[in-house]
């Protein structure tokens, strides 16, 4: 498919997924790196309670809360 036809189909809300190589897709600035962090037990208990209340995992709540905090810092890359 030519780029012009691809763009037209996309702009008109058509399904373009058949033309994408999704196995090679990457999210910009979303590459992951595993880290280990030690937390006091009281903090883990609190995180688990809040995560359970929200119906999400402990890892998810940590990521969300850290992201919210980092977004408010000066010189944040998404600012």
pLDDT confidence of residue 66: 94
Q: Is residue 13 part of a domain?
A: yes
Q: Is residue 49 part of a domain?
A: yes
pLDDT tens digits, 40-62:
999 999 999 999 999 999 999 99
> What is the average per-residue pLDDT within 5-16?
91
Residue that is written with structure tokens 């006091």 in the block = 40
> What is the average per-residue pLDDT within 65-77?
84
Whether 23 and 17 have beta carbons less than 8 Å apart is answered as: no
Q: Is residue 41 part of a domain?
A: yes
What the block records as the tokens of 5 is 């036809």
What range defines the domain where residue 57 resides? 3-71
pLDDT above 60: residue 79: no
| Close Cβ partners of 79 (under 8 Å, ≥ 6 residues apart) | 71
Average pLDDT, the chain: 89
| Domain count along the chain | 1
Q: How confident is the model at residue 12 (pLDDT cuts 50, 70, 90)?
A: very high
Q: Is residue 21 part of a domain?
A: yes
pLDDT confidence of residue 13: 92
What the block records as the tokens of 60 is 């998810």
Q: Is residue 9 part of a domain?
A: yes
Q: Is residue 59 part of a domain?
A: yes
Q: Is residue 78 part of a domain?
A: no
Q: Is residue 79 part of a domain?
A: no
């Amino acid at each position: 498919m030519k780029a012009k036809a691809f763009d037209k189909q996309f702009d008109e809300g058509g399904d373009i997924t058949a033309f994408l190589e999704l196995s090679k897709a990457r999210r910009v600035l979303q590459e992951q790196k595993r880290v280990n962090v030690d937390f006091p037990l009281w903090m883990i208990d609190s995180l688990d309670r809040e995560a359970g209340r929200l119906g999400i995992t402990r890892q998810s709540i940590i990521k969300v809360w850290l992201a919210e905090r980092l977004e408010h810092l000066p010189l944040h890359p998404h600012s």
